[in-house]
């Protein structure tokens, strides 16, 4: 079984979010199941600096030369689309120096889709995929371009976050090489614009999302962001498969919760936090309203007034960044680092007592999985993958001794504050807290089960 994973980012080469972690982990997770997964990735400067290989195809794409370089990513095949006129530029892979989308993003990722379709039709270096696994809007136009190719590859479209829909003005239809007959409600038309995400949702053979709950949520107006009708129409083709995490990268540096003590002391020292009696909570997140970080600001007194602390690592909304900085200056129980530091994020997971994930919506979430692996008790909103991965402490789960964390609903500052007080109370019961930590660390958060589901999905497609 040969599968081409078409993605705009992939660990360890380039990352802006959880998509990169998933794309980087899947090839290794699927290999023991007889799936050879190759990855197709744009040739951004960081990728070109790291990749070593040979040219296996040459084309012209959207006004300039393009070539595909074949290499390796760990033990798996890697194909890099080297098109300097599209990808050789400084800064973010999606945004220009002012924080706005690159104006040619439609062409940049349409080129990725065209390359995927050509590989599916003609093969590359003798390698011909049976299935194309398409990740988010950046790969969404691939099924459209497949209509022009002679291949028989089937397609799986994975929605990591439906909030990003790959919109372009209708005036670009010809420039992108798209057929006018698909600019319809049943195709890639979305409120008078081209939507790359909708193209994938409408035309891929199967659709997956990154958690079972998110799959159901996407069929509602609250979460579907205008695509809910299409997803309901295709309900029989939709599957929710939870993400996993790479335990080689994210396993705890200790085997039992007792090992956390020295890491907690080191984390407090690194952030300059005093030794207080309450739980040390962390946030590692983009600072956005989607992530509920505005709600947390209003709910924090319930933690801080009861001896708890907060260490935050993240960046995003400028107003939220400023408010958290101001809070850190005003309150000795809060420490904030704006930006992202991979090493620090690992140290925070190892040393904290709890991780706060108050997202308004969360397709899957990875940070709560990192927390579980480290015995860093997750405190999460009851939505999407957060609801699917954390067993909340309540009278029933406490009686059975199976809880792994805390959930709150509705997603409001008041509900979060109530839950933070419960966290402080549970932390004061050392026997209960240790049980929560042990249960968390025992949860299966790796890729084995999820990779098996993907392998079965690919097999079912090829068999039909």
pLDDT single digits (tens) 330-373 = 999 999 999 989 899 999 999 999 999 999 999 999 999 999 99
Q: Which of 24, 2, 226 is nearest to 128 (CA)?
A: 2
Categorize the per-residue pLDDT at 224 as very low, low, confident or very high, splitting at 50, 70 and 90.
very high
* Own/partner pairs, 423-428, CB within 8 angstroms, 24+ separation: 423/279, 423/281, 423/303, 423/308, 423/354, 423/377, 423/379, 424/278, 424/279, 424/302, 424/303, 424/306, 424/307, 424/308, 426/393, 427/278, 427/279, 427/308, 427/353, 427/354
114-157 tens-digit pLDDT = 999 999 999 998 999 999 999 999 999 999 999 988 888 999 99
pTM equals: 0.93
Which residue ranges are tagged as binding site? 15
Report the phi/psi class of residue 444: left, alpha or beta, with left for phi > 0 and alpha for psi in -120 to 50: beta
212, β-bridge pairs: none
pLDDT value, residue 151? 81
Mean pLDDT, rounded, for 168-173 = 98
Mean pLDDT, rounded, for 302-322 = 97
Residue 111 has pLDDT above 90, yes or no: yes
Categorize the per-residue pLDDT at 390 as very low, low, confident or very high, splitting at 50, 70 and 90.
very high
pLDDT value, residue 17? 85
What is the SS3 string spanning 341-369? CHHHHHHHHHHCCEEEECCCCCCCCCHHH
Which residue ranges are tagged as binding site for ADP-alpha-D-glucose? 15
Average pLDDT, the chain: 96
CA distance 95 to 326: 28
pLDDT value, residue 298? 98
**Using only C-alpha atoms, what is the Rg of the chain?**
23
DSSP 8-state secondary structure symbol assigned to residue 10:
B
- Please state, as a whole number, how many other Cβ atoms lie within 10 Å of the Cβ of residue 88: 12
285-295 tens-digit pLDDT = 999 999 999 99
DSSP 8-state secondary structure symbol assigned to residue 383:
S
Indicate the length of the chain as a whole number. Answer: 464
Residue 99 has pLDDT above 90, yes or no: no
Name all domains of the chain by residue range, CATH numbers in brackets: 2-244+447-463 (3.40.50.2000), 247-442 (3.40.50.2000)
CA distance 77 to 81: 13
227-243 tens-digit pLDDT = 999 999 999 999 999 99
426-454 tens-digit pLDDT = 999 999 999 999 999 999 999 999 999 99
Report the phi/psi class of residue 128: left, alpha or beta, with left for phi > 0 and alpha for psi in -120 to 50: beta
Kindly state the tokens that stand for 402. 């199976």
Could you tell me the CA-to-CA distances from 78 to 1, 243, 276, 346, 375 in Å, in that order?
Answer: 16, 21, 49, 27, 35
pLDDT value, residue 340? 87
Mean pLDDT, rounded, for 10-34 = 94
Percent of the chain surpassing pLDDT 90: 95
Q: Which residue has the tokens 């980012």?
A: 9
C-alpha torsion angle, residues 222, 226, 228, 230 (rounded to 10): 180
Mean pLDDT, rounded, for 104-120 = 98
End-to-end CA distance of the chain: 14
Q: Which of 245, 250, 252 is nearest to 451 (CA)?
A: 245
CA distance 382 to 358: 9
pLDDT value, residue 20? 94
């Amino acid at each position: 079984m040969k599968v081409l994973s078409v993605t705009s980012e992939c660990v360890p080469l380039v990352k802006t979010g959880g998509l990169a972690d998933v794309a980087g982990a899947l090839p290794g997770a699927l290999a023991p199941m007889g799936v050879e997964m190759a990855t197709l990735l744009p040739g951004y400067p960081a990728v070109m600096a790291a990749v070593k290989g040979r040219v296996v195809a040459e084309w012209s794409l959207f006004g300039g030369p393009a070539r595909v370089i074949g290499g390796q990513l760990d033990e798996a095949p890697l194909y890099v689309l080297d098109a300097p006129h599209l990808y050789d530029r400084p800064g973010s892979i999606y945004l220009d120096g002012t924080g706005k989308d690159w104006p040619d993003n439609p062409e940049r990722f349409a080129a990725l889709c065209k390359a995927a379709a050509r590989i599916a039709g003609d093969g590359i270096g003798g390698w011909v995929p049976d299935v194309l696994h398409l990740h988010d809007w950046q790969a969404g136009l691939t099924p459209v371009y497949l209509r022009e190719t002679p291949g028989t590859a089937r397609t799986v479209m994975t929605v990591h976050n439906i909030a990003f829909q790959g919109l372009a003005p209708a005036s670009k239809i010809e420039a992108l090489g798209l057929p006018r007959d698909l600019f319809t409600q049943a195709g890639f038309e979305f409120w008078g614009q081209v939507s790359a995400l909708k193209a994938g949702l409408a035309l891929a053979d199967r659709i997956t999302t990154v958690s079972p709950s998110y799959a159901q949520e996407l069929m509602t107006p609250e979460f579907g962001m205008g695509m809910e009708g299409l997803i309901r129409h295709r309900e029989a083709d939709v599957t929710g498969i939870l993400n996993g995490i790479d335990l080689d990268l994210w396993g705890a540096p200790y085997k039992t919760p007792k090992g956390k003590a020295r890491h907690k002391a080191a984390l407090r020292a690194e952030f300059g936090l005093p030794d207080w009696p309450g739980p040390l909570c962390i946030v590692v997140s983009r600072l956005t309203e989607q992530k509920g970080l505005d709600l947390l600001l209003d709910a924090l007194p319930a933690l801080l007034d009861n001896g708890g602390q907060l260490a935050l690592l993240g960046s995003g909304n400028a107003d939220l960044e400023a408010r958290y900085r101001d809070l850190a200056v005003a309150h000795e129980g809060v420490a904030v680092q704006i930006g992202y530091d991979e090493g620090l994020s690992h140290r925070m997971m190892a040393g904290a007592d709890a991780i706060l994930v108050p997202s308004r919506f969360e397709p899957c979430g990875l940070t709560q999985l990192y927390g579980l692996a480290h015995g860093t008790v997750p405190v999460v909103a009851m939505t999407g993958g957060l609801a699917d991965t954390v067993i909340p402490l309540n009278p029933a789960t406490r009686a059975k001794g199976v809880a792994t964390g805390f959930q709150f609903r509705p997603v409001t500052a008041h509900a979060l504050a109530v839950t933070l007080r419960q966290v402080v109370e549970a932390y004061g019961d050392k026997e209960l807290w240790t049980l929560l930590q042990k249960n968390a660390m025992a949860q299966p958060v790796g890729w084995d089960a999820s990779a098996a589901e993907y392998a079965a999905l690919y097999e079912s497609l090829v068999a039909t």
